[in-house]
Amino acid sequence: MQLTQTELARLCEIRHWLHAHPELSRHEYETARYVKSVLQAEAAPDRFVDLEGAGFAAIYESGAPGKTVLLRCELDALPIHERNSDLSHISTNPGVGHKCGHDGHMAIMIGVGFALAKKRSQTGRVVLLFQPDEETGTGAIGCLSHPNFTQITPDYAFALHNLPGFPRGQILCKPGSFASAVHFEAIRFTGRAAHSSQPHTGASPAKAIAELIFAADQLALDVAPDEGYALVVPIHAQMGVASSGVAPSYGELGFTLRSDDDRIIAQMLKTIHTRAADLAAQYGLEYEFETLEKFTATKNQAVAVEIIQQTANDLMTSFVHTTEAFRWGEDFGAVTGMCEGAMFGLGAGETTPPLHDQHYDFPNVLIEDGVRMFLGIVGRVV
């Protein structure tokens, strides 16, 4: 199931449209409408299944019994302003850009649809999942818990992520944790305001916040695993008002917690809760926690990794058995937690700007690489 040069050129056009019209998590409705219209007109599936938010699946049936293999891509962009002024397809939405390459992931998935529309698999069925809200960690769980997902129930699930800094087309994968568990936590302290000439009459969160910031590295070391890693990073702080006479009564601190093991995240949370409680008592404050974002570790199943490696070998593509989990989070872990599955990395070029860089633009040459890998995986599963 090969794509023609005309089809590859069309996929580049599609990616350019998607790149020029990025939408943030929970707002990808025009993106989904466009993708669905392209599939309906140029690679019609047997049916669409609507899922959570803007999410949907396109199902390609073989007509013969067999396995269901799900392939997933993401719809959302990031709140990053694009700096690629020389691009003909520069973002038309100020402050929003496809700086993680999800526009390219969608183009790859549409390319798989092009191939399946011409020739279905011999057995089973292929489900193309266009998932919203990946950047918030809520999209995969939302789609899996949607009542319509019972119409899909995959036996296998696969996804890819482009990886700048690695040779173009190289496949990177490993069993176990491939992408990290990540929590974004807010800690809020409430005390009493006072005149700044008499701070002792109030209860300020300033020292509690400062001490937690300086304690971040030690908090991670306290639960550091023998293997893998633990990371606590303060990323946001807010306190008081810009008034010289007011000592603050309220402050908020945001942390990201990262590890290749969900159990380490739980230990770090417990440690931070204990430390925050001690500081609140010391400085006469009340405190509360809120989990703003949560990504479980994306754990690859060994049998799915073997399928990916065999496919790379079939295509005579370089395969690298990575030894450590990538430190970014991915909500595909919710999917690999419910069926056999794996995520793999697709090298985007050693000189390509890194992910989330303002100048990042998904390389068009990767579209064919991604399509070939996914179609090869499908051929080995169904």
pLDDT value of position 224: 85
165 and 216 co-located in one domain: no
The rounded distance, in Å, linking the Cα atoms of 81 and 145 is 33
Amino acid identity for residue 341 in this structure = G
The rounded distance, in Å, linking the Cα atoms of 247 and 249 is 7
The interaxial angle of helices 102-118 and 29-42, nearest 10 deg, is: 20
Residue 85 has pLDDT above 90, yes or no: no
Among 108, 123, 114, 131, smallest CA distance to 57 is for 131
Residue 71 has pLDDT above 80, yes or no: yes
**376 is a domain residue:** yes
87 and 217 co-located in one domain: no
CA dihedral angle for residue 90, residue 92, residue 95, residue 98, rounded to 10 degrees? -50
48 and 106 co-located in one domain: yes
Q: Are 76 and 165 in contact (CB under 8 A)?
A: no
Q: Are 374 and 314 in contact (CB under 8 A)?
A: no
**180 is a domain residue:** no
Arithmetic mean of pLDDT, 238-264? 96
**181 is a domain residue:** no
What domain range includes position 356? Answer: 5-175+301-381
The rounded distance, in Å, linking the Cα atoms of 75 and 103 is 7
pLDDT band at 374; cut points 50, 70, 90: very high
Q: Name the β-bridge partners of 68.
A: 125
357 and 374 co-located in one domain: yes
pLDDT 10s digits, 201-236: 999 999 999 999 999 999 999 998 888 899 999 999
**193 is a domain residue:** yes
CATH of the domain at 277: 3.30.70.360
Number of independent structural domains in the chain: 2
22 and 87 co-located in one domain: yes
pLDDT value of position 52: 97
319 and 201 co-located in one domain: no
CATH of the domain at 356: 3.40.630.10
**219 is a domain residue:** yes
**Domain edge (last residue) among 279, 295, 311:** 295
Residue 1 has pLDDT above 70, yes or no: no
Q: Are 250 and 190 in contact (CB under 8 A)?
A: yes
Tokens of 179: 């992408």
273 and 341 co-located in one domain: no
Q: Are 364 and 15 in contact (CB under 8 A)?
A: yes
286 and 305 co-located in one domain: no
pLDDT value of position 255: 96
E strand or H helix at 40 = helix 29-42
Arithmetic mean of pLDDT, 337-348? 97
**110 is a domain residue:** yes
Cβ neighbours, 10 Å, residue 380: 14
Arithmetic mean of pLDDT, 163-188? 98
312 and 290 co-located in one domain: no
**Domain edge (last residue) among 295, 314, 341:** 295
Q: Is 293 exposed, middle or buried (CB count within 10 Å of its CB: 0-12, 13-18, 19+)?
A: middle
**Domain edge (last residue) among 247, 274, 295:** 295
pLDDT band at 2; cut points 50, 70, 90: confident
Q: Which residues lie closer than 8 Å to 254 by C-beta, 6 or more apart?
A: 184, 185, 186, 187, 234, 235, 236, 237, 292
197 and 327 co-located in one domain: no
DSSP 81-145: ----TT-TT--SSTT-B--SSHHHHHHHHHHHHHHHHHS--SSSEEEEEEE--GGGT-HHHHHHH
Arithmetic mean of pLDDT, 308-337? 97
65 and 151 co-located in one domain: yes
19 and 135 co-located in one domain: yes
**Mean pLDDT for all residues in the chain:** 97
pLDDT > 90 in the chain, percent: 97
Arithmetic mean of pLDDT, 45-59? 98
3-class DSSP state of 177: strand
